[in-house]
Structure 1
Amino acid sequence: MVLSSVNSGRTRPSASVGGALLRLRARLAAAPRLVSWLLTVLVAFFGGLLRFIRLGEPRAVVFDETYYVKDAWTMLLTGEPRNWPEFLTRRGLDFPVDTLFAQGDTNRWLSNTEYVVHPPVGKWCIALGLKLFGGAGNTFAWRASTAIAGTIAIIIMIRVALRLFNNMSIALSAGLLMSVDGVGITLSRTGLLDIFIMVFVLGAFDLLLMHRDWARVKLRAHYAVDAARRDAHWIPDTSRRARRAQRKAADGDSSVAGGGANDTTGTAGAAVSSSANTAGRNQSMLLDARGPVIAFSWYRAAAAILIGLATGVKWSGIYFMAAFCVISVIWDAWERYRAGYRSWLSTGLLCDAPLTALYMLPLWAGTYLAGWIGWFIHPDSYMHDWARNNPGQGITWLPEGLRSFVEYHVEMWQFHTTLDTPHDYKANPLTWPLQVRPTSFYWQELDGHPGLCSLAPHSKCVAAVTSLGNPLIWWLGSLCVIIGIIIAIVKHGDWRIWAVLAGFIGGWLPWAQYLHRTTFTFYSIVILPWIILAICYVGDHVRRRVSAGTWRITLTATLLPILLVSVFFYPIWTAMPVPYEFWLSHMWFKSWI
């Protein structure tokens, strides 16, 4: 009896642990924002491992690293990119300078500055990795910045998808697809520039979505005030959307009248929904007023800076600037209409658009110019004294420094628009989404049988870095773009599909004018986020129309094959030693070899 009474006063360990777990679950349920960030970091951590493990392999200068890494190294030490000899002589023998550079002989540059065809920002990003992680003799160091950028892109991808679709399973799927895609992995593990463009423009896109959420909240709040005024005046809404909403309401379907039950986005969702309810807009009437000015927000200003940085990596950032500005202004105008204001289109085009351009364009251009500070302050930079040496030429009314700068850009423009040099891995831009002609960054036959080669001791051992996207992601994404457009047409418009198409318009469509140019499939890294968002868009369409159980089955059936394909291809994305036959089994088409 004594023992029984003693035990009855104690708490069993299992009950204590179970209670703690229940309390933790309750706390997490009460903090969905914290949970979403914990899950975001978890997925990004997984993607980061795929990028950082064995990042220093191969221990060689890979593909165009010969330009960007060596430029970054000399910029770090001298302020400007310098020329390098093609060969160096050691003990009477000539060795490729790239081979010696990878071995740590990194100070053999020439005194004259190099003619470069891309702006400096991307190379400064690589230089930062060199500075922080051990210098040019360390292959990990010159790829560290790209690996960090690729990991950050996963985080942004999840937050973008969450703002667009307001569903955690969709958002985490987007991050997972970004984590395991081959183009994303290879560009994150190689010292090239294009990964920086992708992460900058994706970050800018996320900021423009934040601006949209902010503008919606502000418009709904102002509408509630304006509609309550005694002198408020309404006019009938005769648009097709309003007539359709009235028919739906008459049939007892109020989802369209509210813009869709799930049309709140991101962290602003609850506030937007509350504001919409407060406004209490009559869907058949529009308020005869213009509403507040929503052209400026710090989100948009930061987006302009990020696109300026992207343009400072490669000029292709210009196209994103044009596409994103247009789509953002259209979003503003449409939100005016959805809030209930009459003059939504004229206000958007005649008020919001000019005011937006008034500050976004200078911020974008100023950021781009800031990337060239090193060129301006170093007197021996390439073409720095062109104007002084060529009086009366160029744009004569400009100061000498700017005249030389403009002429340098003219020369760069001529290079980019006339580049048609034959290359084994040249790929027509129209084929990028289908990954028809991937780029082989590295292929080397190895001595001995290290790694997986030990499983086939009678076979050749090779290591490869093939910039080939996960075929299932890219093929499915391309199909979903078409399906998404069809869905949007049938539904008479959906702002989300235009968000998806904005990336294609900015990152892929402009290349259609340069079909003759020498281009490579790995340039498609800039449209990878929107390939993934196209999958998410169709997935979200399915999710809204099936049961929770069916959705889980559909999601698993989609993601599992994609993950298995990435496991299969990962060795040839990361230079793992594999038997030759294993490498050959990945070459599904002749164009992949």
Structure 2
Amino acid sequence: MGVMVLSSVNSERTRRVSRAATTMLGLRVRLATTPKLASWLLTVLVAAFGGMLRFIRLGEPHAVVFDETYYVKDAWTMLQTGEPRNWPEFLTRNTLDYPIDTLFANGDTNTWLSSAEYVVHPPVGKWCIALGMTLFGGAGNTFAWRASTAIAGTIAIVIMIRVALRLFDNLSIALVAGLLMSVDGVGITLSRTGLLDIFIMAFVLGAFDLLLMHRDWARAKLRARYAIESRRRDARWVPDTSRHARRARRMQTGDHPGSERSQAMLLDSRGPVIAFSWYRVAAAILIGLATGVKWSGIYFMAVFCVISVIWDAWERYRAGYRSWLSTGLLCDAPLTAVYMLPLWAGTYLAGWTGWFIHPDSYMHDWAHTHPGQGVMWLPEGLRSFVEYHKEMWQFHTTLDAPHDYKANPLTWPLQVRPTSFYWEKISGHPGLCSLAPHSQCVSAVTSLGNPLIWWLGSLCTIIGIGIAIARHGDWRIWAVLAGFLGGWLPWAQYLNRTTFTFYSIVILPWIILAICYVGDAVRRRVNAGTWRITLGTTLLLVCLVSAFFYPIWTAMPVPYEFWLSHMWFKSWI
């Protein structure tokens, strides 16, 4: 009897295992036959992992951290009054004077002054912070004022994966990009702090993805039209005498320079108009939002528009049209500018709506109180607006105040001088401090990128340029370099300005894409086993370094000696 029961139990267990195996096999088959579903599922899993690193203990430290003193309080008063307001430096409570930031972090959030504050950045980023406060519990909740940055950082992981997938057409490379974004220290700390720069990165990365989508759409439209036009009886053809065609013929057939064998032909036609797409409309709006966070978005607008028009022209040539360059420069470029520039500028202006509608906003009445001054042909409101922007421009171009964490922009990719957002001694021995009861316990938030990611990315950028030159051009590396042109090189003109390494968050995606570019080149030249070992070893080392630094990125209580062990160079302290 017992044998029969045991046999029945084993039989039922076997059936369960068989059903589970069948289910898993079915899932694998469905994922294999639906690559889009698989890629999106894996994208969500990687983003969920990155989101976990950003949201766990998001409310720590329970304090106003670094420049949160400006942006968080501005966001709160914008919610309450429509415009940023000044705050007192100290307030008296029970006969003792307390810093306003200490009181604010503990819920005393309604002590702003009636006067409008002079702010030096546009309002969009602060409205993003305000949205988080609205959704997650108000100003006295540190989680709430950091929620929007954590959401933006998590969404950026999703966009990063999709961008890499469009560039390299390889899911493993795309997932590597998302994982590197997930575990990098600059990405984590900026996602966990109520500052503005993470929004710029997310907006411009989204715009870049949309421009890649426009490129795919334009390529499909050009090739579809070419297939129709090339079959017409009256189609006219001309030889392709470009240097690119001659080089391609030599590589394919071994022809010598000047040989006419295997002469390629181009269709003597301009092809369809591809200047307008809804992808570009959305991209212009996103870059307008980025500019509405900080003016550095202007540089991305310039670089991305140029490279997108170049892509259009090159796709005309690849499709087989003759007048590809002249059409790109004389037709596509002006038509693109006609609608993208107004959309970008209009989005930026829309971010200032609160300033226009509130009569007590900063410098709102400047034109009224300064008759005969400013740009006289403008209405009073716009004249005041322009003058305010002149003041902001003066501030940004002349700021050279000394600061302990000032960092030359040329050193950002190497993370030479990271920014300490927060460092405090803690009484007692909570958390990891319990492992060293005789040591001082400290809590820190250091905006330091994962050194392996940034150092390897800087090296891969240089290697990538070399590969592109050796290949006589590769549009993907120039796409990667476009991010550096828009996010980093413009700062080279302000080497004496007070800047900080955490501004480098805007070039983090391009650092990662440079790694992916070189990784993709290696993948194509080695066997599958060597590639898996190389990839696995690199990712393991990167993740171990991130695990080591994670406590000092997220204000975990640690022994002082543990914190000091992370300061590999004096410039990191």
TM value normalised by structure 2: 0.96
1:338 equivalent to 2:341? Answer no
Measure, in 2, the Cα distance between the counterparts of 1:65 and 1:14.
54
1:71 equivalent to 2:67? Answer no
AA paired with 2:468?
Answer: A
Measure, in 1, the Cα distance between the counterparts of 2:48 and 2:20.
28
Cα deviation digits, residues 207-248 of structure 1 (max 9, x gap): 000000000000000111111111111111122221222233
Measure, in 2, the Cα distance between the counterparts of 1:456 and 1:33.
50
1:60 equivalent to 2:63? Answer yes
Cα deviation digits, residues 403-422 of structure 1 (max 9, x gap): 00000000000000010000
Q: Any residues of structure 2 matched to 1:131-280 within 5 Å, and which?
A: 131-250=134-253
1:581 equivalent to 2:561? Answer yes
1:36 corresponds in structure 2 to 39
Question: Once the 2 structures are TM-superposed, how far is the Cα of residue 85 of structure 1 from its aligned partner?
Answer: 0.3
Cα deviation digits, residues 417-476 of structure 1 (max 9, x gap): 010000000000000000000000000000001110000000000000000000000000
Question: Once the 2 structures are TM-superposed, how far is the Cα of residue 532 of structure 1 from its aligned partner?
Answer: 0.2
Whether the 8 Å contact between 1:245 and 1:283 is mirrored in structure 2 is no
Q: Any residues of structure 2 matched to 1:408-419 within 5 Å, and which?
A: 408-419=388-399
**SS of residue paired to 1:232:** coil
Question: Once the 2 structures are TM-superposed, how far is the Cα of residue 110 of structure 1 from its aligned partner?
Answer: 0.2
Question: Once the 2 structures are TM-superposed, how far is the Cα of residue 24 of structure 1 from its aligned partner?
Answer: 1.9
AA paired with 1:220?
Answer: R
AA paired with 1:182?
Answer: G
Percent of aligned pairs with the same amino acid: 84
Question: Once the 2 structures are TM-superposed, how far is the Cα of residue 529 of structure 1 from its aligned partner?
Answer: 0.2
Where in structure 1 are there 5+ consecutive unaligned residues? 253-281
AA paired with 2:499?
Answer: T
AA paired with 1:418?
Answer: T
Question: Once the 2 structures are TM-superposed, how far is the Cα of residue 283 of structure 1 from its aligned partner?
Answer: 7.3
Cα deviation digits, residues 130-169 of structure 1 (max 9, x gap): 0110011100000000000000000000000000000010
> RMSD in angstroms over aligned alpha carbons?
1.5
Q: Any residues of structure 2 matched to 1:529-540 within 5 Å, and which?
A: 529-540=509-520
Measure, in 2, the Cα distance between the counterparts of 1:226 and 1:17.
54
TM value normalised by structure 1: 0.93
Cα deviation digits, residues 264-322 of structure 1 (max 9, x gap): xxxxxxxxxxxxxxxxxx97111111110000000000000000000000000000000
AA paired with 1:222?
Answer: R
Alignment size in residue pairs:
559
Whether the 8 Å contact between 1:156 and 1:206 is mirrored in structure 2 is yes
Where in structure 2 are there 5+ consecutive unaligned residues? 256-261
Cα deviation digits, residues 98-127 of structure 1 (max 9, x gap): 000001000000001100000000000000
AA paired with 1:370?
Answer: A
Q: 2:307 aligns with which of 324, 327, 333?
A: 327
2:273 corresponds in structure 1 to 293
Q: 2:335 aligns with which of 342, 355, 363?
A: 355
Measure, in 2, the Cα distance between the counterparts of 1:324 and 1:307.
9
Whether the 8 Å contact between 1:188 and 1:195 is mirrored in structure 2 is yes
1:559 corresponds in structure 2 to 539
Whether the 8 Å contact between 2:287 and 2:301 is mirrored in structure 1 is yes
**SS of residue paired to 1:575:** coil
Question: Once the 2 structures are TM-superposed, how far is the Cα of residue 251 of structure 1 from its aligned partner?
Answer: 5.9
**SS of residue paired to 1:235:** strand
Measure, in 1, the Cα distance between the counterparts of 2:46 and 2:21.
27
2:548 corresponds in structure 1 to 568
Q: 2:101 aligns with which of 76, 98, 108?
A: 98
Q: Any residues of structure 2 matched to 1:419-438 within 5 Å, and which?
A: 419-438=399-418
**SS of residue paired to 1:89:** strand
1:528 equivalent to 2:531? Answer no
Cα deviation digits, residues 526-562 of structure 1 (max 9, x gap): 0000000000000001111111111111111211111
AA paired with 1:344?
Answer: W
Whether the 8 Å contact between 2:239 and 2:263 is mirrored in structure 1 is no
1:276 corresponds in structure 2 to none
**SS of residue paired to 1:457:** coil
Measure, in 2, the Cα distance between the counterparts of 1:526 and 1:249.
41
**SS of residue paired to 1:442:** strand
Measure, in 2, the Cα distance between the counterparts of 1:53 and 1:206.
28
1:268 corresponds in structure 2 to none
**SS of residue paired to 2:485:** helix
